[in-house]
Structure formats: structure tokens, C-alpha cells
Amino acid sequence: MSNTDSRQFTRREALTLAAASLGALVTPSVLRSVAYAQGGSDPDVIVLGAGLSGLGTAAMLEDAGLRVCVLEGRTRVGGRVFTRFDLPGYPELGGNTASAGYGRWLDAARRCKVELEDVLPRFRRNASQLLVLDGKIVSPDEWLRSPRNVLPEPYKALMPWAYLPARYPALSPLKPSDNWYEPSHRADDISLHDFLVSKGIDEHVIDLTFNTVPAYGDTAHDMGNLMFAFIDAWTRTVSTSSGKPVLYAAKGGNQRLPEAMAAALRGPVRLGAQAVAIEAGASGATVTLATGERVKARAVVSSLPFSALRYLRITPGLSGVQHEAVHQLGYQNMTQMIVVPRKPFWLDDGLAPSMWTDGPAGWITAERFGATENDVSSFMVWGRGRRGLQWDRMGPKAAGEMVLREIERIRPAAKGKLELAAVHSWSLDPWNVGDMSVFKPGQVTRFLPAMAAPHQRLFFCGEHTALANRGMEAALESAERVAIEVLNTLE
């Protein structure tokens, strides 16, 4: 095992072992908390948010004997795990797949008896996608000769979306990646743009390969280099953590997992319970709901993204770096459209159904969740960064019509064969106000080590507070950490 593998394993194993031994850590408090729950109507702990992190926290606290109440402002559970059960193929608007490295996610599915399926064969069908520049389809041969091809040798034959995944690992300042937030990396906590320029990468290359369809953030200027480096290393690690490549999804939609987690809880999950204020003291905490109801507990755990938490009134107020983090942590602008094909137009023109474009239609991926892995059940149209903001300003109807017209202009065979089924803006979603968290330049080494520290009896979890993972796995990692903090405080 290499030094890199060893350090990553140690950090992740420590978190897992700590969660597994919760009972041994807090046996005295278990007895007291059971007596407390039996003696009054107030819960021991209030958890704000019924996404994976909030539900995972509630489950572990209940397993340790505490009485937990989960408050969720939405009328559904899942948070950013959001399946459209009403559309063909159950398209996912968040939380798409999990590799074999998602140990916590896989364990949660096993515990909740949620059936999983390997969807990698379906995703591999999208390996071929069309490049569309200036409104015209560009073949691989044409791309090699195109004046738009600003990629340096020996990367000239790569498509724009493949350049940074191929080039960045050799440039990355993180070796290993598990200490990405430590002060020793402060010099590299700059924008991705500035880092790439410092490595001799041309501005035009950055604009084409990142800014056109940004993977994270809105542009390379507001994307923190350390975060990009961590995601790059983490993605490669979890995707190769087993001998056999695999991509898991919950059968019938990934939202089935948080639904099962919520159903397994003994305490209530109150939907439509919007929190507007939190009062945190040395011996307890109170949450005020939009209805005026006040719910008291010995502790409150917020799993809310900071983009939403910043609109709650917290007393006493947060201070220092933690206050800055809650109010300044970045979140990616993301708007998604689900388009359902009436007829398979790609069979008529003989071209791949998926497209990567620099125009108003953005990135269009075929969702292959029909009866077989060849069947395209829908298309996901991704409006990331500035494109998503543009769609939001236009409104869903106008933006959807524009995207459909653009697809039909590029692919005449698609005319009259597409239907706009849904538009969802994570930026306009009041419970998220943005998609995944994005650490901007300078924010990783400044915010991450301190931003999730307990504030009196108010505790924090969520994917944005995780140290060793991203996405759904990060949400569950943060649940382990915050459950231990709460239990150690309440013993």
C-alpha cells in the first residue's frame, strides 16, 4: 500500500470505527437520555433537514438511546437526493450514482433493505457524445483540424471535456489528498484559473475546457483549486476502490434510500416544518418554526446547507471564521431540464443522442433507464454556472422553449419529437439556494478546519462539512462526526 493509500485509509477508517463504537463511548448518557425521554415531551435532539446527513445523524443518535425529532421544510425527504418518480425512467435531479467506494451509502442501503442495481452498463452507452461548437456538430476528425481546437500537443485529439481529467492529476498539489484543508496548502488555495495559468495552460484552453460546461462553481475564477484537486483525487480513489468497476443506484430511484431511512426512525420526521430561528444555549436549544411554534431540545443539529442556513436567525450569533463561512461559502448555480423523447430521433440521423455544446442548450445527456440499457427514457439538460443563471432569469417556460429550439436546430431529426417534462433550479430552491457547496479561492484552508465547530448546543453536519468525501458519501461521513460530538456533549 502506498503512503497516499495508507493516509486516506487511516482517516476514513477512523471515522468508520468511531461511528461503530458509539455505544462504548456514551453508555452513561444513554441511560440519562432514556430517562429524559420518558420524563417529558421534548426530544433530546432536534435535527434540521431530512437529507442523507440529517437522517443519518438521527439514526445514529436513536441507536445510542436518544429521542430525536427531524424537522424538514420540504414536503418530502431526501434533500438533494431528488427522484422524479412521475417521469419515465425515474430521472435523478441529484445524487445520481454511487461507486464501490461509497461504503457508508452502501451500508445504509443494506441496513434499510433498499435494493441496488449496477447501472454502469447504461452509463457506458453514453461514452460517445457529440461535440457541438458554434451551433454545428464537429466530428472527431474535424476537431483535429478545427481552429477552435486550442488544446496543446499531445492532447489535440482529446475532446474538450476530457482534457482536464487527463491533464490535472499530474499537476495536482495534493499528494496525498486527505490533508487538503491544512494550512500547509495555503499557497495552493487559489483559483483554479490562476493555478492552471501558473502551470502554463493558456486562457483559451481554460475557457473551453472548464468554463463552457463547469464541473463545479460557475467559472474557473471562482472555483477553488484545492477543492478541485481534492475532488479529482477522491473521484479517482473511490472509482478504483474495488477490482470490478461498478456504479450503483437504488432500484426505482435513489430517493428510495432516504425514504427508507426516514421510515426506520422511531422519532417523528415532520415535513413542512420550516425553521426560521435557532436559540442555542449552554444547556439546550430552541427552534422556532415559520408557524411560530417553538420546539425545545437538549441540542440542535443543523444539516442545512450554509446557503439556506444563512437566512435563519441564530442567537447568540455566530462569530469569526464560522460566521464568514456560513455567509460566504459558495454554491454552484445549477438548473436542470428533463426532456422526454416522443420518438427516437437519434436513430433517424444515426448520431449519438448525447451532446456537449457551447451554446444555449449546454450539456445534454441521454438517460438510459428504459426496459433495456439501450433505451433512452429521457434527456437531462444541464445548465451549470452562468448558463443556469441565464435560464433562471428567463423563467422555466421560455428557457425550456429556447433549449428545445436549439436542439432541433442542431438536430433537425428531433423536430417535434421532444417534450419538456420538468425544470428544476437548485439556485431558486429555497431549501438549498444552490447545488453542491463550492469552496472559493482561499476558503478551504480558512473555512474548513473551523466552520463546523459546535456553537453552544447547536451542531453542524452536511456534505459541506465533510473532510474525506464528497456528495452522498460526504453527507453520511458528516453524520458520523456530528453524532459523536452530540453524544459526547450530552453524556
pLDDT higher than 80, residue 8: no
Same domain (yes/no): 20, 63: yes
Query: What pLDDT is stored for residue 40 in this prediction?
Result: 56
Nearest to 42 by CA among 379, 233, 285: 285
Mean pLDDT of 96-110: 94
Same domain (yes/no): 39, 69: yes
Residue given cell 450554509 in the structure block: 306
Mapped onto helix, strand or coil, the DSSP state of residue 77 is: coil
Q: How many domains does the chain have?
A: 2
Q: Which domain-ending residue is among 239, 261, 281?
A: 239
Same domain (yes/no): 189, 54: no
Residue 243: all three cell numbers together: 477490482
pLDDT higher than 80, residue 38: no
Same domain (yes/no): 257, 235: no
Same domain (yes/no): 201, 265: no
Alpha helices in 65-159 (DSSP H): 103-111, 120-124, 140-145
Region of 79 (left: φ > 0; alpha: ψ -120 to 50; beta: rest) is left
Alpha helices in 240-315 (DSSP H): 256-264, 306-309
Query: What pLDDT is stored for residue 26 in this prediction?
Result: 39
Query: What pLDDT is stored for residue 436 in this prediction?
Result: 94
Q: Please name the amino acid found at residue 118.
A: D
Q: What distance in Å separates the CA atoms of residue 331 and residue 307, rounded to the nearest whole number?
A: 7
Mapped onto helix, strand or coil, the DSSP state of residue 433 is: coil
Query: What pLDDT is stored for residue 491 in this prediction?
Result: 83
Q: Which domain-ending residue is among 188, 208, 239?
A: 239
Same domain (yes/no): 318, 273: yes
State the distance between the two ends of the chain, measured CA to CA, in whole angstroms.
Answer: 39
Same domain (yes/no): 221, 260: no
Neighbours of 320 (CB within 10 A): 10
Same domain (yes/no): 297, 168: no
List all residues 6 or more positions away from 190 whose beta carbon is below 8 Å from its beta carbon: 224, 225, 441, 442
List all residues 6 or more positions away from 315 whose beta carbon is below 8 Å from its beta carbon: 277, 278, 279, 280
Alpha helices in 49-128 (DSSP H): 52-63, 103-111, 120-124
Q: For 40-63, what is each residue's pLDDT tens digit? A: 589 999 999 999 999 999 999 999
Contact at 8 Å (CB) between 441 and 189?
Answer: yes
Q: For 120-164, what is each residue's pLDDT tens digit? A: 998 888 778 999 999 999 999 999 999 999 999 999 999 999 999
Give whole-number Cα distances, 201 to 67, 209, 227, 459, in Å.
55, 11, 19, 42
- Dihedrals phi, psi of 67, to nearest 5 degrees: -95, 120
Neighbours of 42 (CB within 10 A): 16
User: What average pLDDT is seen over the chain?
Assistant: 91
Contact at 8 Å (CB) between 216 and 330?
Answer: no
Q: Which domain-ending residue is among 239, 262, 282?
A: 239
Whether 307 is covered by a domain: the verdict is yes
Query: What pLDDT is stored for residue 41 in this prediction?
Result: 83
Whether 385 is covered by a domain: the verdict is no
Residue 112: all three cell numbers together: 434499510
Whether 347 is covered by a domain: the verdict is no
Mean pLDDT of 458-486: 97
Beta bridge partners of 69: 46
**pLDDT: which is higher, 235 or 242:** 235
Same domain (yes/no): 226, 255: no
- Output DSSP code: residue 99: -
Whether 133 is covered by a domain: the verdict is no
Whether 265 is covered by a domain: the verdict is yes
Query: What pLDDT is stored for residue 241 in this prediction?
Result: 64
Whether 137 is covered by a domain: the verdict is no
Query: What pLDDT is stored for residue 244 in this prediction?
Result: 77
Summary count for the chain: helices (H), strands (E): 19, 20
Whether 261 is covered by a domain: the verdict is yes
Q: For 336-347, what is each residue's pLDDT tens digit? A: 999 999 999 999
Same domain (yes/no): 312, 446: yes
Query: What pLDDT is stored for residue 204 in this prediction?
Result: 97
CATH number at 457 reads 3.50.50.60
Query: What pLDDT is stored for residue 17 in this prediction?
Result: 40
CATH number at 202 reads 1.10.405
Q: Which domain holds residue 188?
A: 150-239
Contact at 8 Å (CB) between 481 and 462?
Answer: no
What is the pTM for the complete model shown?
A: 0.90
Mean pLDDT of 23-35: 35
Nearest to 352 by CA among 141, 124, 120, 91: 124
Q: What distance in Å separates the CA atoms of residue 335 and residue 396, rounded to the nearest whole number?
A: 9
What DSSP line would sit under 191-246, residue for residue?
Answer: BHHHHHHHTT--HHHHIIIIISS-SSSSSTTTSBHHHHHHHHHHHHHHHTSSSS--
Query: What pLDDT is stored for residue 452 in this prediction?
Result: 97
Same domain (yes/no): 299, 179: no
Same domain (yes/no): 323, 464: yes
Which pairing describes strands 275-280 and 313-315: parallel, antiparallel, or unpaired?
parallel
Whether 190 is covered by a domain: the verdict is yes
- Dihedrals phi, psi of 393, to nearest 5 degrees: -65, -35
Residue 152: all three cell numbers together: 496543446
pLDDT higher than 70, residue 243: no
Query: What pLDDT is stored for residue 82 in this prediction?
Result: 98
* pLDDT class of 374 with cuts at 50, 70, 90: confident
